[in-house]
Amino acid sequence: MAAPETAPETAPEAAPEAPRVLTEAESRPLFELAEEGKVVALTIDDGPHPRHTPDVLALLEKHGIRATFFLIGENAAARPDLVREIAARGHRIGNHTWSHPDLRHLPDDAQVREELTRTSDLLAGITGKSPAWFRAPGGDWAPRTLRTSRELGMRPMGWTVDPEDWAEPGTDVILGRLTKEMRPGAIVLTHDGGGDRSQTVAALTRFLPSLIDSGYRFTTPRA
């Protein structure tokens, strides 16, 4: 008589990764790098975008630069292939909320948490890694926003240099602002999504090699 069949053993589900416990200092927005020398960090917001993100990735690859991309959840959900490409090329990926709202004006803490959690869950599902950095749209660091990002184990990152490229002021204006405001330790804000970013790409095409020729090097801040 044949032995009774037994149900195959299944591996237990992995427990969700616990949020990183941040110190009080790590819970405050980072606006400047601590590294000595001519070191800067390039950050790129509001993507991924089907046209501009590939252009930016190609430019960064050409110059051997690694950057931090702060992605909007809705855009990432629509273009997971670009999210994977950003990660595969060695860039860091940060959380820039799901729908890019002004977090100060959301009606309650639960909606702030939903904007952050939903985006982190999506990015972790695409890349296999939860984002360690968070940037509030507009740099609006309300107390509850900082509290929520801390509870989720994400460090907040601000910026030092803002060429206001989101307003599409023209390639020469963007380039002039980047050049004028640049200094060692700066965190540079630019955009590859949220509109026509061809001016930003054109400005970076001229700006990045000149910065390298001036002795600057690039880093991606570690959380």
Residue 15 reports pLDDT greater than 60: no
Lowest mean pLDDT among 8-12, 33-37, 116-120, 216-220: 8-12
pLDDT the model gives residue 54: 98
Domain hosting 171: range is 39-218
pTM over 0.75: yes
Which single residue is written with the structure tokens 């107390």? 143
The domain tally of the chain equals: 1
Confidence of residue 19 (pLDDT cuts 50, 70, 90): confident
> Is 175 within a domain?
yes
Active-site residue (options: 45, 46, 55, 165): 45
Query: For residue 27, is it left (φ>0), alpha (ψ between -120 and 50) or beta?
Result: alpha
What CATH number is attached to the domain comprising 198? 3.20.20.370
Instruction: Please give the DSSP secondary-structure letter assigned to residue 165.
Output: G
Confidence of residue 8 (pLDDT cuts 50, 70, 90): very low
Q: Which residues does 111 contact at the CB level (< 8 Å), separation at least 6? A: none
pLDDT the model gives residue 18: 78
Question: pLDDT of 42-74, one tens digit each?
Answer: 999 999 999 999 999 999 999 999 999 999 999
> Is 13 within a domain?
no
> Is 121 within a domain?
yes
Active-site residue (options: 46, 49, 191, 192): 191
d(Cα 95, Cα 103) in Å, to the nearest integer? 13
Helix spans in the chain (H): 52-63, 73-78, 80-88, 109-127, 143-151, 171-181, 198-213
For residue 47, how far is the Cα from the chain centroid?
A: 9
Q: For this structure, is 191 an active site residue?
A: yes
Task: State which H helix or E strand residue 189 sits in.
Answer: strand 187-191
- The sign of the CA dihedral 27, 30, 34, 39 is positive
Question: pLDDT of 162-177, one tens digit each?
Answer: 999 999 999 999 999 9
> Is 15 within a domain?
no
Residue 79 backbone phi and psi in degrees, to 5: -135, 60
Q: For this structure, is 46 an active site residue?
A: no
> Is 2 within a domain?
no
Residue 92 backbone phi and psi in degrees, to 5: -85, 150
Q: What is the mean pLDDT of residues 182-196?
A: 97
Do 91 and 100 form a contact (C-beta atoms < 8 A)?
Answer: no
